[in-house]
């Protein structure tokens, strides 16, 4: 009897699958697995893409979103979450899709323009109204008595950008890796709390009133103002910062299984279109397209930016040197 | 155990034992075996290096120490709460009774954020404590507070039913035989309650050792100071170091298992002594 019912349910399942395969031509589903601060960006972008795909391909598409910490999201995809595209905080987390599960080819980052990063951001300082501690640049962060709020780079992707921005500044200003290391160590001496994620740090700084300066993604810095009240905080742009490139890619193994390669690729390409770039700009990400970027030039101040490839030889190298177990970040905290 | 062959109220011993074994394997043993297997992908050398790293050792001290203190606090105050709920009638008792379970129901991250809001230096409670030099949030004390919070229901809910079973007449009998209040408590009530108290303690402790969500918000996560072991595990996962994460988990599990075993033995011994 058991066998019979199993057979029966298999039959139903097969029928169901055939039926859904037949309706596939009319409707297609995409899953975009992304990180935390892109919630608002993709909510708006997905709507625009649905309309765009209806117009150009005459097909109905539904885009689902998943958000969470960048590393955790990558692990979900490695463990089998059927993401068609991933849009994460840093290339290291997408590299892991190749390293751990071969879901994508090794050269994934060269498949789309601009290192596969359709929009960029940078690291800025957020200070309290009137800038009471007179914080202007990185040097002010290592002064005694200044409290700096930044999450733990071991658990937060965004925090790794913060750390590397500080390093890049110190290396330019003081000339050597040795000096940069001293500078970063001194900076972390001024960090009273290492929250596990960027949103946790935002709460610590904005709501719990802890710290004098908060190192933040530029797009998050704008959102803080929106959320906690305009005029309570000021954004300070340092003399030098890092070009944060949150990359995107199609997950090859999954789109082949789902039969969604065409629409997934179109989805990512649409990020590079004028319309996609405008949506990125409106959500406080710096557009790559020079024309669109010019439109937003009053929002995004000019700042000297270094890239992770020039300064640190890419994410893999930076990760191993600085953030792996026993790396430089761990050494900073080692008891003497 | 000897009653196995006796006809039982519920028939089908073989079937039910088979089911119990299958169910326990599916839910508990297989995941645990997978965890151990994962940690064995490390060589012995790597394994010891991971689990004996000074940063890991500092985290065990905090995780196990704070869990132990939290469970001890719950033991005392959980008992008092259970006592009040069983022995007294007062207005709003039903509400208090329901409140005890809230730490079970509340997502732990919410608990962590709420506690941090209260105990941060500028928080409602923290603002009165920080002038006294007492630092709760972002200090080991905060970890204890969070672990006490999530562990409370365990002690209350294990002691409560046993206390309900204990009739007041027993105390009266003890008194009429000349026992003072302290003697009644020590020689009559306490032995009867001890197994339940131990169970509650063990559950609260075990729950606290693995707790992540509420602690990471209040602890401040400073390496060597306020880093709990589950955070180190997450740190390893962030580096896609699954085996290293499993190794730390194995250490935590072993500690917890040994402690739970000891408590079980103690419990067995105490219930035997109490003539149970």
List of domains in chain B: 1-39 (no CATH), 45-273 (1.10.3720.10)
Hey, is B187 helix, strand or coil?
A: helix
Q: CA of B83, closest CA in chain A: separation in Å? A: 37
Contacts of residue B234 in chain A, CB cutoff 8 Å? Answer: 155, 196
Hey, is A102 helix, strand or coil?
A: coil
pLDDT value for B10:
67
Contacts of residue B239 in chain A, CB cutoff 8 Å? Answer: 154, 319, 323-325
Q: Does B113 touch chain A (CB under 8 A)?
A: yes
Q: For residues B238 and B248, what is the distance between their CA atoms, to the nearest angstrom?
A: 14
In chain A, where do the E strands start and end?
A: 27-34, 60-66, 85-87, 119-128, 148-149, 213-217, 233-236, 240-244, 248-250, 286-287, 304-306
Contacts of residue A208 in chain B, CB cutoff 8 Å? Answer: 116-117, 120-123
Q: Does B116 touch chain A (CB under 8 A)?
A: yes
pLDDT value for A18:
47
Contacts of residue A189 in chain B, CB cutoff 8 Å? Answer: none
| B237 contacts A71? CB cut-off 8 A | yes
Q: Compute chain B's Rg from CA coordinates.
A: 22
Q: For residues A202 and B49, what is the distance between their CA atoms, to the nearest angstrom?
A: 35
Q: CA of A115, closest CA in chain B: separation in Å? A: 22
Residue of B nearest to A155 (CA): B235
At B148-172, the pLDDT tens digits run 999 999 999 999 999 999 888 888 8
Q: Does B231 touch chain A (CB under 8 A)?
A: yes
β-bridge pairing A27-34 and A248-250: unpaired
Hey, is A243 helix, strand or coil?
A: strand
Residue of B nearest to A329 (CA): B223
Q: Does A76 touch chain B (CB under 8 A)?
A: no
Residue numbers in chain B where pLDDT is lower than 50:
1, 3, 276
Q: For residues A313 and A309, what is the distance between their CA atoms, to the nearest angstrom?
A: 5
At B166-207, the pLDDT tens digits run 888 888 888 888 888 888 888 888 888 999 999 999 999 999
Q: Give the torsion sign (CA, A34, A38, A39, A45).
A: negative
Whether the complex's predicted ipTM is more than 0.95 is answered with: no
Q: For residues A24 and B99, what is the distance between their CA atoms, to the nearest angstrom?
A: 50
At B138-150, the pLDDT tens digits run 999 999 999 999 9
User: Which of B123, B234, B240 faces A208 most closely, judged by CB atoms?
Assistant: B123
Taking the CA atoms of residue B175, residue B177, residue B180 and residue B182 in that order, the dihedral angle to the nearest 10 degrees is -80
| A152 contacts B220? CB cut-off 8 A | no
Contacts of residue A72 in chain B, CB cutoff 8 Å? Answer: 237
Contacts of residue B237 in chain A, CB cutoff 8 Å? Answer: 71-72, 75
Q: Does A236 touch chain B (CB under 8 A)?
A: no
Q: For residues A91 and A317, what is the distance between their CA atoms, to the nearest angstrom?
A: 12
Say if residues B74 and B155 touch (Cβ distance below 8 Å): yes
DSSP B79: H
| A210 contacts B120? CB cut-off 8 A | yes
Q: For residues A226 and A221, what is the distance between their CA atoms, to the nearest angstrom?
A: 9
pTM for the predicted model, two decimal places:
0.83
Contacts of residue B138 in chain A, CB cutoff 8 Å? Answer: 192-193
Hey, is A234 helix, strand or coil?
A: strand
Q: Does A325 touch chain B (CB under 8 A)?
A: yes
Q: Which of residues 48-77 of B touch A (CB under 8 A)?
A: 53-55
Q: Compute chain A's Rg from CA coordinates.
A: 22
Q: For residues B172 and B175, what is the distance between their CA atoms, to the nearest angstrom?
A: 5
Residues contacting A142, CB < 8 A, separation 6+: A183, A186, A187, A189, A190
Contacts of residue B224 in chain A, CB cutoff 8 Å? Answer: 333-335
Largest CA distance in chain B: 68
Contacts of residue B215 in chain A, CB cutoff 8 Å? Answer: none
pLDDT value for A2:
47
Exposure b/e, B7-27, CB count within 10 A at least 16 = b = eeeeeeeeeeeeeeeeeeeee
Q: Does A203 touch chain B (CB under 8 A)?
A: yes
At A242-292, the pLDDT tens digits run 999 999 999 999 999 999 999 999 999 999 999 999 999 999 999 999 999
User: Which DSSP helix (H) or strand (E) runs through B51?
Assistant: helix B44-51
**CB-defined contacts A:B, below 8 A:** 69
Q: CA of A12, closest CA in chain B: separation in Å? A: 27
pLDDT value for B13:
79
Q: Which CATH number fits domain A121-244+303-333: 3.30.70.980, 1.20.1250.40, 3.40.190.10, 3.40.50.720?
A: 3.40.190.10
Q: Does B182 touch chain A (CB under 8 A)?
A: no
pLDDT value for A160:
94
Residue of B nearest to A154 (CA): B235
Enumerate the CATH 3.40.190.10 domain ranges in chain A, comma separated: 24-117+246-295, 121-244+303-333
Q: For residues B129 and B127, what is the distance between their CA atoms, to the nearest angstrom?
A: 6
pLDDT value for B104:
86
Query: Does CATH number 3.30.420.40 belong to domain A24-117+246-295?
Result: no
Residue numbers in chain A where pLDDT is lower than 70:
1-25, 336
Q: Does A110 touch chain B (CB under 8 A)?
A: no
Contacts of residue A196 in chain B, CB cutoff 8 Å? Answer: 216, 221, 231, 234
């Amino acid at each position: 009897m058991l066998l019979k019912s199993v057979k029966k349910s298999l039959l139903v399942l097969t029928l169901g699958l055939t039926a859904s395969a037949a309706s596939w031509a009319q409707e297609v589903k995409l899953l975009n697995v992304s990180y935390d601060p892109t919630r608002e960006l993709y909510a708006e972008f997905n709507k625009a893409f649905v309309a765009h795909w209806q117009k150009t391909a005459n097909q109905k598409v539904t885009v689902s979103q998943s958000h969470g910490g960048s590393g955790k999201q990558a692990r979900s995809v490695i463990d089998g979450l059927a993401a068609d595209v991933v849009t994460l905080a840093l290339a290291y987390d997408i590299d892991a899709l190749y390293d751990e599960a071969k879901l994508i080819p090794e050269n994934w980052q060269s498949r789309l323009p601009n290192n596969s990063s359709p929009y960029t951001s940078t690291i800025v300082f957020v200070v309290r109204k009137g800038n009471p501690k007179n914080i202007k640049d990185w040097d002010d962060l290592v002064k005694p008595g200044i409290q700096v709020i930044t999450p733990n780079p071991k658990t937060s992707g965004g925090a790794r950008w913060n750390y590397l921005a500080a390093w890049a500044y110190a290396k330019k200003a003081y000339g050597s890796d040795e000096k940069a290391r001293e500078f970063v160590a001194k900076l972390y001496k001024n960090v009273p709390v290492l929250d596990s994620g960027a949103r946790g740090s935002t709460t610590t700084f904005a709501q719990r009133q802890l710290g004098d300066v908060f190192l933040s993604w530029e797009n998050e810095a704008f959102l803080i103002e929106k959320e906690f009240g305009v005029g309570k905080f000021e954004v300070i742009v340092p003399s030098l910062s890092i070009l944060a490139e949150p990359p995107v890619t199609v997950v090859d193994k999954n789109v082949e299984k789902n039969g969604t390669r065409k629409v997934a690729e179109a989805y990512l390409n649409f990020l590079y279109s004028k319309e996609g770039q405008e949506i990125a700009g409106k959500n406080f990400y710096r557009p790559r397209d020079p024309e669109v970027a010019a439109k937003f030039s009053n929002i995004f101040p000019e700042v000297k930016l270094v890239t992770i490839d020039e300064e640190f030889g890419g994410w893999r190298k930076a990760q191993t040197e600085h953030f792996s177990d026993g790396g430089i970040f761990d050494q900073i905290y080692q008891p003497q | 155990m000897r009653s196995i062959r006796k006809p039982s109220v519920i028939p089908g011993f073989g079937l039910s034992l088979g089911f119990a074994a299958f169910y326990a394997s599916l839910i508990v043993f297989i995941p645990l075996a997978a965890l151990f297997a994962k940690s064995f992908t490390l060589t012995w050398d790597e394994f010891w290096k991971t689990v004996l790293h000074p940063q890991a050792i500092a985290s065990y001290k905090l995780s196990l120490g704070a869990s132990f203190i939290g469970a001890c606090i719950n033991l005392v105050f959980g008992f008092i709460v259970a006592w009040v709920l069983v022995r007294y009638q007062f207005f709003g008792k039903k509400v208090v009774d329901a409140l005890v379970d809230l730490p079970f129901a509340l997502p732990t991250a919410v608990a962590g954020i709420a506690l941090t809001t209260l105990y941060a230096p500028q928080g409602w409670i923290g603002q009165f404590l920080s002038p006294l030099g007492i630092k709760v949030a972002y200090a080991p004390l905060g970890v204890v507070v969070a672990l006490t919070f999530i562990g409370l229901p365990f002690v209350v809910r294990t002691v409560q039913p046993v206390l309900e079973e204990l009739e007041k007449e027993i105390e009266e009998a003890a008194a009429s035989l000349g026992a003072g209040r302290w003697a009644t408590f020590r020689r009559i009530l306490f032995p009867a309650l001890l197994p339940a108290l131990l169970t509650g303690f063990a559950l609260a402790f075990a729950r606290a050792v693995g707790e992540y969500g509420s602690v990471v918000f209040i602890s401040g996560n400073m390496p060597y100071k306020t880093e709990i072991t589950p955070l180190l595990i997450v740190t390893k996962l962030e580096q896609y170091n699954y085996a290293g994460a499993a190794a730390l988990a194995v250490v935590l599990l072993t500690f917890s298992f040994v402690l739970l075993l000891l408590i079980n033995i103690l419990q067995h011994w105490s219930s035997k002594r109490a003539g149970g």
